[in-house]
Amino acid sequence: MSNLFTISPDFSPDHISGWYIFNTWLQKQTGEAIHLEMYNDFHSQREAIKSDKVDLIYANPFDAAMLVREKGFLPLVKPLGRADEAIIAVNAENTVEDVAHLLPGIRVAVTDDPDVHLMGMIMLEPGDLDANNVNINVCDTYVLVAKHLLRGDADVGIFLAEAYDNLSNMIKSQLKILVRSQISVIHHSLMIGPKLVEKRDKFQSLLVDMSNDAKGKGVLEGLGIDAWVGIEDEEMEFMIDLMDTLNT
Amino acid sequence: MLHDMKHDDIVGDYQEITLNLFGNLTRKILYTQIETPYPDGKLIVSTTDPNGVITHVNQAFIEMSGYTKDELLNTPHSILRHPDMPPAAFKDLWDTIQKGNKWQGFVKNLRKDGGYYWVKATVIPNVRNGKVTGYTSVRRKPSRTKVEECIKLYPTLF
C-alpha cells in the first residue's frame, strides 16, 4: 500500500515541481511506494493528519507538537541553515518607526502560515497589540500582503522573512521593515509517521547523505535547499516546548 | 554555583542588598538604576533542570544578562533575580510549574553589571516520557504599558 507524503502548504510556488522530483528520488532510494499529496491550505492538511492519512510530512513548526505528541510522528531532517523568521513591515511612507508606536485598530495583512503569524503577533505585543484589537486580513500569498501595504489597504504586514527578501526590489523599495525576528531555532522539519517509523534510521541516513551525491544535490537544488541535517528527538522536543511558550 | 556580585563588574552608582534565594541560598546584590532596552525581534531562551539550575542558554540570554555562557551553565536561574521583584511572583511561578502548568508574567531581571531589563516571561515544564525533566523559559519584549503597571504593582507585593 502506498504511503502518503505531504508538504506544508506554505511552500514556495517556485518549488512545486522540485517536491515531485524529490518524491520520485525518495521512492527510488527507499524502495517505498510514496504518493505526494499537496493540500491547498493548512486546514485541509490538518484534517488529513487527524484522520491518519499522512505518513511523511514536511511540516510547519506550528504543527510539530500535534504531529509528535498526538500522532506519534518522529523528526527526520531539517534544511541546513534555514530557520523560519518573521518580518513586520509597513509602507515606506508610514511615519511609524517602532512597533511600540502602532495604534489599536490597525489593519494587519497576513497569510495563513501559522508559525509566521505567531512570531509576527508576538512582535506586535510591545505595541499593546493583539488579536483582540487589530483587524486581521488573511491573504493567499506574501506578494498580496505587500500589495495591500502598497495600496494602503493594510497598515502592517507580517511576512516570512525569506518571502519578504525574495520580493522584487521595486516592491521592497516602497516598504519599510519595523522588526525582523532573530529566533534561529524555529524551522520546518521532514517527519515520519507511525506506519513508517521502523524505517526511520534508513530514511534519515539517506536524506542526510543526499547532498553528497551529485544527483541528490541536484534534486535538493530544486527545493532551494543546500542539504538536510538530521534532527535528534530532544531538539524537536525543545522546539515544540518553545512553540508552546510562544502560543500563549 | 552562585557567587556574590563584584564591585568591579558594576557600571554606575549602585546600591547593595543581600537576597535570600530558593534553596537556602543568599547572595549579595549590587544594583543600579540603568535599564537595558529589550532588543526587538529576539527571544531569550533558557532551560533548567528540575531544581532551577541552568542547563542551556541562547546567545540573546548571554548578551542581555552580561554573563558568559560558562558563568551561566550549572548556576541557579536566580542569578537573574532583581531585588525589586517580589518573592510572591517566584512562589507563584514555582507553584504553577511544579503542578505541570505554564506560567507567564512580567519580570525585572538583574544583569551582571548591576543594571536591569524587563521581559515578558513564559515558563513551561519539559515533559519527557511522562516525567518533568526540567523547565524551559522564553522571554520576549514586553509592552511598556504592562511594565509601567508592574512598576506600580510590585512594590505593594512585598
Task: Convert the pLDDT of each residue in A126-180 to its tens digit.
Answer: 999 999 999 999 999 999 999 999 999 999 999 999 999 999 999 999 999 999 9
Residues of chain B above pLDDT 70, percent: 100
Q: What angle, rounded to 10 degrees, do the helices at A114-124 and A233-246 form?
A: 50
Which of A128, A178, A242 lies closest to B138 in CB terms?
Answer: A242
Chain A hits for B145, CB-CB cut-off 8 Å, are: 128
Interchain CB distance below 8 Å, A248 and B128: no
Cβ–Cβ gap B41/A185 under 8 Å? no
d(C-alpha A208, C-alpha B29), whole Å? 49
Give tens-digit pLDDT for A193-212: 999 999 999 999 999 999 99
Average pLDDT over residues B141-150: 96
Chain A residues touching B122 at Cβ < 8 A: 245-246, 248
Tell which residue, A96, A154, A148, A101, has the closest CA to residue A124. Answer: A101
Q: What pLDDT score was predicted for residue B22?
A: 80
For the domain with range A86-180, which CATH number is right: 3.40.190.10, 2.30.110.10, 3.30.365.10, 3.40.50.10140? 3.40.190.10
Nearest to B41 among A127, A179, A237 (CB): A179
SS (H, E, C) A78-137: EECCCCCCEEEEEECCCCCCCHHHCCCCCEEEECCCHHHHHHHHHHHHHHCCCCCCCEEE
- Cell reading at B65: 544578562
Q: In the A/B pair of chains, how many CB contacts fall below 8 A?
A: 64
Q: What is the mean pLDDT of residues B92-96?
A: 95
pLDDT of B118 above 80: yes
Q: Does any domain span residue B129?
A: yes
Structural domain total, chain B = 1
Chain B hits for A237, Cβ within 8 Å: 126, 128
Give the tens place of pLDDT for each residue, B19-37.
Answer: 998 878 899 999 999 999 9
Residue of chain B whose alpha carbon sits nearest to that of A247: B122
pLDDT of residue B92: 95
Q: Cβ contacts of residue A212 below 8 Å, gap of 6+? A: none
pLDDT at B94: 94
Q: Which CATH superfamily is domain A3-82+185-246 in?
A: Periplasmic binding protein-like II (3.40.190.10)
Q: How confident is the model at residue A14 (pLDDT cuts 50, 70, 90)?
A: confident
Q: Are B34 and B22 in contact (CB under 8 A)?
A: no
pLDDT (average), residues B12-25: 92
Any residues with CB less than 8 A from the CB of B88 and at least 6 apart, and which? B157
Kindly tell me if the per-residue pLDDT of A60 is higher than 80. yes
Contacts of B43 in chain A (CB under 8 A): 183, 242, 246
For the beta carbon of residue B140, count every other beta carbon within 10 angstroms.
21
- What cell numbers appear for B16 in the block? 547593595
Query: Which residues in chain B are closer than 8 Å to A99, comparing Cβ atoms?
Result: 40
Taking CB atoms and an 8 Å cutoff, what residues of chain A touch B138? 242, 245-246
Which candidate in B124, B138, B139, B149 is best for mutational testing of the A interface (most A CBs within 10 A)?
B138
Q: Tell me: pLDDT of B65 over 80.
A: yes
| Helix/strand/coil for A56 | strand
pLDDT of residue A189: 97
- Of the candidates B45, B123, B143, which has its C-beta nearest A125's C-beta? B143
A184 touches chain B (CB under 8 A): yes
> Is residue A1's pLDDT more than 80?
no
What is the model's pLDDT at position B8? 97
Contact B136 A238 (CB under 8 A): yes
Nearest to A138 by CA among A148, A126, A127, A128: A148
Per-residue pLDDT band at A44 (split at 50, 70, 90)? very high
For chain A, give the mean pLDDT: 96
Give the residue-averaged pLDDT of A61-81: 96
Which residues in chain A are contacts of B144 at CB distance < 8 A?
100, 126
Is the pLDDT confidence value at A13 over 90? no
| pLDDT bracket for residue B1 (50, 70, 90) | confident
- Mean pLDDT (whole number) for B66-88: 97
Pick from A122, A123, A245: which is nearest to B124 by CB? A245
Selected residue of B140, B144, B145 to mutate for chain A interface (largest A Cβ count, 10 A): B140
**pLDDT-based confidence at residue A24 (cuts at 50, 70, 90):** very high
CATH of the domain at B19: 3.30.450.20
Q: How far apart are CA B158 and CA B24, in angstroms?
A: 19
Q: Is residue B2 in a domain?
A: no
Tell me the domain boundaries of chain A.
3-82+185-246, 86-180
Cell of A13: 510556488
Once rounded to an integer, what is the mean pLDDT over residues B85-104? 95
User: What DSSP line would sit under A161-190, residue for residue?
Assistant: HHHHHTS-HHHHTTEEEEEE--------EE
Q: Tell me if chain B has a CB within 8 Å of the CB of A244.
A: yes
ipTM above 0.90, yes or no: yes
pLDDT at position A248 is 79
| CB–CB contact B41 A180 (8 Å) | yes
Residue-wise pLDDT tens digits, A85-102: 999 999 999 999 999 999
Domain range holding B109?
7-157
